[in-house]
Every structure is written in C-alpha cells, then in structure tokens.
C-alpha cells in the first residue's frame, strides 16, 4: 500500500508560454467534440477530461504548464458541454462519455495518459479499462473514486440544476458560483464566466451545458453502475495517481481507502488547499503533482 503524500499550497507558477490549437474530433455516433491542443505531436500525450458542468477551459492554466514541461496536452469538451455537440437524442452518461474518449484515442493513434476530474475521472477509468495499457499508459483521477459521498454528489447536482431560468447578469452567476465554492476567493471580475455561459435572445445568461444530462435516467440502477466502476478499477494494471482535495465533500478518507483496496498500486497525493474542484482550488500544487507523474519514466 502506498502512503499518502500531502502537498501544501505553493506560490504562483510561471504563466504558460504556449498557445493552444482548437480542433474537432469525431465522438461516438458522429458527435463533434471540440478540444484545445498544446504542444507538439512528437511529445508524450496527456488527455484532459473535465468534470460535469465544466469545459475544457477549466484546464487552461494546467494545460499550458504541462506543455511547457514537454508534454502534448489535449483538453476535451465532453458531449453536451462547451463547444462540443449536444446529443440530439439526449444520450448521456458515463458509458457514452467512455465511448467518446475511446473514439478520440483511436483517432490519436498513440498511447495517452488520461487526467480526469470528477465525471471525467470516472470516464477515464472506464476508458482505460476498455482500451487496455497499450492505448492508455497511465491514469490521473482528480478527487474522484467509484464510491463517492452522497451529500457532496447531491450538492453538485443541485448546483447544476439550480438556475434553469438563467441569470440576469454575469455578476449574478458569479454570486451563485461563490455560494457553491465558499472556500475560494471571489474573482474581481465575472468576465471569466463567459466561457461557461451563453447569453440568449431574452438577454439572460445560461450555463452552456445540456440539462438533459441531469434529467435523463441512465440505464441500470446505481448499484449496477457502481459495480461496473469497481470492476473497471480492479482491472487497471497501469500507473494510477489519485489527487485528493483534503477539503472535499465528495471523496472521503474511507472512499480513498476503498479505492486502494481495488487498485493497491495507486499513488495518492492529498492537496491541502483544495476541495473537490482541486485543479482550480490549488492549481500550482495540482500541476506540480501531475507534471511529476506524467513525465516519470
């Protein structure tokens, strides 16, 4: 069993120098998936999968720094998020996301390291198990394990469903985010939210994700989905890093311990200054841990 490493908040990192290229991949069923790519194709590739309700832009600071360390980074918008297509038939869920990622990996024609946060981490776990070590060389899970805390998961769901009628202004949306993330300092400007919201003809601002993700029932019951995730975890023979936010209400110490029983070779790093949104909470410590893991060997 690997002992936890605790990383405390660091000072600000040097801003990334690279500028991404925006490309489109074909997902499962022909959906168009938008991604930003940093770095050259000859470099080791890292595929970044965001959490539910986020977009590829949530990785912006980390992606540039990873590229500056010698990695090729692909930050992907999941179906129904950001600039990727919404499913015409409302087909969402982890299995659909997994199939999208497998399609992207097939188009890359090279092994990747997957870095996935929350929904993206569970997607990455399923994709890594399905693709095998020849296609997915290693996996980074960002504050996610198969057995998550119900209260924290419900808080995420409540936030995502909390503004069906949108917001009157970006500042109103920023206030909602501040209530959801009370441990973070509120930015001076709400302009950064423009990447995650769209203003409609009625003048109101709406989160740019498909609410059908939250309202369409997934196939199978929760116990069956949990069993499939645990089976996928047990099958992993690749290096696995679990980054755990010490302030998280989604992943508990018990959840980490249970995951270690499934994947005994997991390396666990605890981020002292982070909650469930670990990459944004303490980006410097998060990036340092990911760079060290992805450039090893």
For the chain, domain boundaries: 5-149+222-294
**What pLDDT, on a 0 to 100 scale, did the predictor assign at position 218?**
74
Residue range 5-149+222-294 forms a domain whose CATH class is: alpha beta
What's the CA gap between 95 and 171, in Å, rounded? 35
Give residue 217's pLDDT.
Answer: 77
Give the span between the Cα atoms of 156 and 148, in whole angstroms: 12
Rounded to whole angstroms, the maximal C-alpha distance in the chain is 56
Contact 82, 24 (CB under 8 A): no
Residue 267: both structure tokens together? 């390396």
Structure confidence at residue 88 (pLDDT): 93
* pLDDT tens column, 241-269: 999 988 999 999 999 999 999 999 999 99
Q: What is the 3-state secondary structure (H, E, C) of the chain?
A: CCCCEEECCCCCCCCCCCCCEEEEEECHHHCEEEEEEECCCCCCEEEEECCCCCCHHHHHHHHHHHHHCCCEEEEECCCCECCCCCCCCCCCCHHHHHHHHHHHHHHHCCCEEEEEECHHHHHHHHHHHHHCCCCEEEEEEECCCCCCCHHHHHHHHHHHCCCCCCECCHHHHHHHHHHHCCCCCCCCCCHHHHHCEEECCCCCEEECECCHHHHCCCCCCHHHHHHHHHHHHHCCCCCEEEEEECCCCCCCHHHHHHHHHHCCCCEEEEECCCCCCHHHHCHHHHHHHHHHHHCCC
For range 87-114, the mean pLDDT: 95
Which residue is it, tokens 């070590």?
133
What the block records as the tokens of 18 is 């690279």
Q: In angstroms, rounded to a whole number, what is the distance separating the alpha carbons of residues 236 and 126? A: 10
pLDDT at 47 over 60: yes
pLDDT-based confidence at 10, cuts 50/70/90? very low
- pTM of structure: 0.91
Average pLDDT over the chain reads 90
Sign of the dihedral through C-alpha 153, 57, 95, 159: positive
| Pairing label, strands 267-271, 45-49 | unpaired
pLDDT class for 4, splitting at 50, 70, 90? Answer: low
Portion of the chain with pLDDT greater than 70, in percent: 94
Angle between helices 222-234 and 119-131 (to 10 degrees): 50
């Amino acid at each position: 069993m690997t002992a936890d490493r605790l990383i405390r908040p660091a000072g600000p990192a040097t801003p990334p120098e690279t500028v991404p290229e925006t490309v489109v991949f074909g997902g499962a069923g022909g959906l168009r998936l938008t991604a930003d790519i940093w770095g050259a194709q000859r470099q080791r590739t890292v595929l970044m999968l965001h959490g539910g309700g986020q977009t590829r832009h949530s990785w912006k600071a980390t992606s540039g720094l990873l590229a500056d360390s010698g990695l090729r980074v692909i930050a992907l918008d999941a179906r129904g998020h950001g600039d990727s297509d919404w499913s015409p038939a409302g087909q969402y869920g982890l299995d659909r996301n997994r199939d999208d990622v497998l399609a992207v990996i097939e188009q890359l024609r090279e092994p990747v390291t997957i870095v996935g946060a929350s929904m993206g981490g569970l997607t990455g776990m399923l994709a890594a198990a399905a693709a095998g070590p020849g296609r997915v060389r290693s996996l980074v899970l960002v504050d996610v394990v198969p057995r998550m805390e119900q209260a924290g998961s419900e808080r995420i769901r409540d936030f995502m469903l909390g503004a069906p009628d949108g917001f009157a202004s970006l500042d109103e949306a920023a206030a909602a985010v501040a209530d959801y993330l009370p441990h973070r300092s509120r930015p001076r400007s709400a302009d950064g939210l423009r990447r995650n919201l769209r203003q409609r003809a009625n003048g109101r601002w709406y989160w740019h994700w498909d609410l059908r993700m939250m309202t369409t029932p997934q196939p199978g019951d929760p116990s069956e989905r949990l069993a499939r995730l645990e089976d996928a975890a047990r099958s992993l023979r690749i290096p696995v890093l679990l980054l755990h936010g010490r302030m998280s209400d989604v992943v508990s110490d018990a959840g980490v311990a249970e995951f270690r029983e499934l994947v005994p070779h997991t390396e666990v790093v605890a981020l002292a200054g982070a909650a469930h949104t670990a990459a944004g909470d303490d980006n410097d410590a998060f990036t340092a841990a990911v760079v060290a893991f992805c450039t090893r060997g």
